[in-house]
């Protein structure tokens, strides 16, 4: 290689000279100099005295980001590789395992036509598996702590074992812990492995909340996270749904179609709303699961028909969310919620034009199947986004009074029905101005009516009375009694 130039990517192993490969040792004895990403790796101190070592640790000390450090190293090694004598670049472990610079140097050198030789090294993985006493097959997930720490939720299924590399200090451990906490409880058992494959190896069994308290964290630390348990991942759930639809699955599920499941989807959505209205967290958890089942069933049916699959659904909504939130995932600046909504409409119109769709009404996207109150509020919201709205609430109140008077003075039943509809629409607008969801407000009122009327029924039974034989005044007194009871039980009044 010295005549043709190029680069040798050499693995220094996990941390001690005894784990260097024979090929690596022979090469290190033959070359006059090498470049290492870091001289902090223990093997650097055991290299043959004849080899001159150049290290890039000074880049880290400059305080640059890891990305900038790695980019600088890659450019420097490629420059050296263009020399007639080429360059040997050595890194901890294996040159292509948990190593940001090695794969990029390999890719760039090959693209440029530079000769490349990879001298294998024992990575940190093998001694880590030995320290843990595990076989990584069939499902171990490998994750970089530097990437995982930037996420809000883990990027892997929690029913699989995970090995997280490069937990090099308390800050990175804390960031990883916060991300894992989105799925895993504080008390979840985990294992920290330090300096695997060396005489300094340490294995710590501890709980997740303790990982950033370990005094042994360093450049050679990795975290093993055992599975959270069966039936805890979306992938496992999709497998269950696919099994239901398989030839050996459930006869009822196998018969379902998009059309036959329509009523079930609507029912489950309303049960989610009921759990929200009741402020019942346990019920909400269960009902969201039932609703998710409907989504998964529709995706499975579509997959069987060859139209789309669950991955397509996820990809589509992922792309849409990112595209429609340039103020979050891009550089766009917007002012408040109103600015977000106005930009949202512009983006949707641009999407329609890009897809060759005809310009359609701003209100066309409001589903006709929505409950009337929800539909009315959404229509008003969309019109308001483009300025079709009163500038203050006073005219809104005046419109409600106007519509109420028109109901009172309607000349016949047909006109009265129309005016009642206008009155309801005006009241929905009033709710919108007060930042109240009209559908939720009415559902809450319906619930209170049920509770109060149930009180009347119960008190009538206690008195041995038949409800239909009681006077309105008697029932009204019990109604007021129910309201008084609510004052002593605020949660009932809020329900």
Judgement on whether residues 267 and 250 belong to the same structural domain of the protein? yes
What is the dihedral angle through the alpha carbons of 122, 124, 126, 128, rounded to the nearest 10 degrees? Answer: 160
Max avg pLDDT among 169-178, 385-394, 400-409? 169-178
Beta strands in 4-115 (DSSP E): 7-11, 33-36, 52-55, 87-91
The CATH number that applies at residue 130 is 3.30.950.10
Neighbouring CB atoms inside 10 A of 432's CB total 19
Judgement on whether residues 34 and 102 belong to the same structural domain of the protein? yes
Is 449 within the bounds of a domain?
A: yes
The angle at the Cα of 14, spanning 8 to 18, to the nearest 5 degrees, equals 90
Judgement on whether residues 65 and 157 belong to the same structural domain of the protein? no
User: Is residue 61 predicted with pLDDT exceeding 90?
Assistant: no
Cα gap 495→491, rounded to integer Å: 6
- Contacts of 472-480 with CB under 8 Å at 24 or more apart are 479/452, 479/453, 479/455
Among all chains, which residue has been given the structure tokens 């330090």? 194
Judgement on whether residues 215 and 250 belong to the same structural domain of the protein? no
What is the dihedral angle through the alpha carbons of 70, 76, 80, 81, rounded to the nearest 10 degrees? Answer: 40
Judgement on whether residues 191 and 114 belong to the same structural domain of the protein? no
Q: How remote is the C-alpha of 247 from its chain's centroid? A: 33
Cα gap 68→355, rounded to integer Å: 39
Judgement on whether residues 81 and 103 belong to the same structural domain of the protein? yes
Q: What is the pLDDT of residue 360?
A: 66
- Contacts of 402-408 with CB under 8 Å at 24 or more apart are 402/426
| 215 band by pLDDT with thresholds 50, 70 and 90 | very high
Phi/psi at 158 (5° precision): -75, -5
Q: What is the pLDDT of residue 374?
A: 85
Q: How remote is the C-alpha of 218 from its chain's centroid? A: 29
Boundary (domain end) residue, out of 307, 331, 364: 307
Q: What is the pLDDT of residue 358?
A: 61
Phi/psi at 224 (5° precision): -105, 125
Stronger pLDDT, 369 or 33, i.e. the higher one? 33
Is 401 within the bounds of a domain?
A: no
Beta strands in 182-235 (DSSP E): 189-194, 202-207, 221-225
pTM score of the predicted model: 0.74
Q: At what angle do helices 372-385 and 336-354 cross, to 10 degrees?
A: 90
CA distances from 344 to 215, 335, 353, 362, 374 (A): 49, 13, 14, 12, 20
Judgement on whether residues 119 and 130 belong to the same structural domain of the protein? no
Lowest mean pLDDT: which of 141-145, 207-211, 332-336, 386-390? 332-336
Q: What value does the mean pLDDT take over residues 328-346?
A: 77
Q: What is the pLDDT of residue 367?
A: 74
Cis peptide before 138 (omega within 30 of 0): yes
Cα gap 27→133, rounded to integer Å: 32
Q: What is the pLDDT of residue 495?
A: 43
The CATH number that applies at residue 47 is 3.40.1010.10
Q: What are 38's two structure tokens? A: 């870091």
| 387 band by pLDDT with thresholds 50, 70 and 90 | confident
Judgement on whether residues 108 and 13 belong to the same structural domain of the protein? yes
Three-class secondary structure of residue 364 per DSSP: coil
Judgement on whether residues 208 and 254 belong to the same structural domain of the protein? no
Phi/psi at 299 (5° precision): -65, -40
Is 344 within the bounds of a domain?
A: no
Q: What value does the mean pLDDT take over residues 115-138?
A: 95
Question: What is the tens place of the pLDDT at every residue in 144-186?
Answer: 999 999 999 999 999 999 999 999 899 999 999 999 999 999 9
Cα gap 181→160, rounded to integer Å: 16
What residues have CB less than 8 Å from 107, skipping those under 6 apart?
Answer: none
Is 312 within the bounds of a domain?
A: no
Lowest mean pLDDT: which of 53-62, 224-233, 335-344, 379-388? 335-344
Judgement on whether residues 29 and 119 belong to the same structural domain of the protein? yes
Percent of the chain with pLDDT over 70: 95
Q: What is the pLDDT of residue 488?
A: 66
Closest CA to 478 of 493, 463, 491: 463
Q: What are 343's two structure tokens? A: 């930009």
Percent of the chain with pLDDT over 90: 64
Q: What is the pLDDT of residue 352?
A: 65
Q: Is 103 exposed, middle or buried (0-12, 13-18, 19+ CB in 10 A)?
A: middle
Q: What are the helix (H) ranges across 55-124?
A: 57-61, 66-81, 101-112
Q: At what angle do helices 262-277 and 438-462 cross, to 10 degrees?
A: 70
Q: What is the pLDDT of residue 356?
A: 61
Can you name the residues that pair with 193 across neighbouring β-strands? 203, 222
What is the dihedral angle through the alpha carbons of 209, 213, 219, 225, rounded to the nearest 10 degrees? Answer: -20
Q: What value does the mean pLDDT take over residues 314-334?
A: 87
Boundary (domain end) residue, out of 255, 283, 307: 307
CA distances from 231 to 80, 283, 291 (A): 52, 19, 17
Q: What value does the mean pLDDT take over residues 46-64?
A: 90
Is 300 within the bounds of a domain?
A: yes
User: Is residue 491 predicted with pLDDT exceeding 50?
Assistant: no
Is 71 within the bounds of a domain?
A: yes
Judgement on whether residues 116 and 134 belong to the same structural domain of the protein? no
Task: State the residue range of the domain holding 174.
Answer: 126-225
164: which DSSP letter?
E
User: Is residue 490 predicted with pLDDT exceeding 80?
Assistant: no
Q: Is 125 exposed, middle or buried (0-12, 13-18, 19+ CB in 10 A)?
A: buried
Structural domain tally of the chain?
Answer: 4
Q: What is the pLDDT of residue 15?
A: 85
The CATH number that applies at residue 262 is 1.10.287.1080
Q: Over the chain, what is the mean pLDDT?
A: 90
Stronger pLDDT, 212 or 469, i.e. the higher one? 212
Q: What value does the mean pLDDT take over residues 245-264?
A: 95
Q: How many CA atoms lie within 13 A of 159 on its CB side?
A: 9
Q: What is the pLDDT of residue 370?
A: 78
What residues have CB less than 8 Å from 201, skipping those under 6 apart?
Answer: 127, 131, 193, 194, 195
Q: What value does the mean pLDDT take over residues 392-398?
A: 92
Question: What is the tens place of the pLDDT at every residue in 226-235?
Answer: 999 999 999 9
Closest CA to 73 of 112, 408, 64: 64
User: Is residue 109 predicted with pLDDT exceeding 90?
Assistant: yes
Is 333 within the bounds of a domain?
A: no
Judgement on whether residues 194 and 294 belong to the same structural domain of the protein? no
Closest CA to 202 of 219, 217, 187: 217
The answer to whether 376 and 423 are in contact (CB under 8 A) is no
Three-class secondary structure of residue 165 per DSSP: strand
Is 185 within the bounds of a domain?
A: yes
Q: What are 442's two structure tokens? A: 């009415």
Boundary (domain end) residue, out of 307, 339, 361: 307
């Amino acid at each position: 290689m010295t005549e043709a130039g190029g680069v040798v990517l050499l693995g220094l192993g996990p941390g001690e000279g005894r784990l260097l490969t024979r090929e690596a040792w022979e090469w290190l004895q033959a070359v006059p100099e090498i470049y290492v990403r870091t001289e902090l790796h223990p093997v650097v101190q055991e290299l043959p005295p004849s080899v001159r070592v150049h290290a890039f640790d000074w880049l880290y000390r400059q305080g640059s980001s890891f990305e900038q450090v790695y980019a600088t190293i890659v450019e420097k090694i490629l420059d050296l590789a263009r020399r007639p004598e080429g360059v040997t670049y050595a890194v901890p472990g294996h040159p292509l395992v948990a190593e940001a610079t090695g794969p990029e140097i390999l890719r760039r050198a090959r693209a440029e036509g530079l000769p490349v030789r990879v001298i294998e090294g024992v990575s940190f993985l093998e001694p880590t598996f030995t320290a843990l006493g595990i076989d990584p097959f069939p499902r171990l997930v490998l994750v970089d702590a530097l990437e995982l720490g930037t996420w809000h939720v883990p990027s892997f299924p929690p029913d699989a074992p995970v090995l997280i590399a490069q937990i090099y200090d308390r800050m990175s451990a804390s960031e990883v812990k916060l991300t894992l906490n989105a799925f895993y409880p504080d008390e979840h058992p985990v294992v920290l492995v330090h300096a695997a494959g060396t005489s300094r190896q340490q294995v710590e069994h501890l709980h997740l909340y303790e990982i950033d308290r370990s005094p042994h964290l360093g450049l050679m630390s990795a975290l093993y996270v055992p599975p959270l348990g069966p039936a805890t991942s979306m992938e496992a759930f999709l497998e269950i749904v696919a099994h239901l639809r398989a030839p050996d699955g459930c006869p009822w599920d196998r018969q379902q179609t998009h059309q036959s499941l329509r009523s079930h989807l609507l029912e489950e959505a309303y049960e989610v709303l009921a759990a929200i209205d009741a402020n019942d967290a346990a019920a909400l958890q269960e009902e969201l699961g039932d609703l998710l089942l409907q989504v998964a069933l529709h995706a499975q049916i579509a997959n069987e028909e060859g139209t789309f699959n669950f991955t397509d659904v996820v990809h589509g909504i992922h792309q849409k969310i990112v595209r429609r939130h340039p103020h979050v995932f891009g550089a766009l600046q917007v002012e408040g919620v109103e600015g977000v909504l106005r930009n949202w409409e512009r983006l949707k119109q641009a999407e329609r034009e890009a897809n060759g769709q005809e310009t359609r009404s701003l209100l066309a996207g409001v589903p006709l199947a929505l409950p009337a109150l929800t539909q009315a509020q959404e229509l008003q919201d969309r019109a308001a986004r483009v300025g079709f709205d009163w500038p203050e609430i006073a005219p809104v109140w005046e419109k409600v009074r106007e519509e109420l008077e028109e109901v009172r003075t309607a000349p016949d039943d047909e006109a009265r029905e129309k005016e009642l509809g206008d009155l309801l629409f005006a009241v929905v607008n009033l709710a919108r101005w007060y930042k109240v969801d009209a559908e939720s407000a009415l559902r809450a009122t319906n619930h209170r009516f049920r509770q109060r009327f149930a009180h009347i029924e119960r008190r009538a039974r206690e008195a041995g009375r038949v409800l239909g034989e009681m006077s309105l005044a008697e029932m009204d007194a019990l109604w007021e009694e129910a309201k008084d009871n609510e004052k002593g039980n605020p949660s009932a009044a809020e329900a």
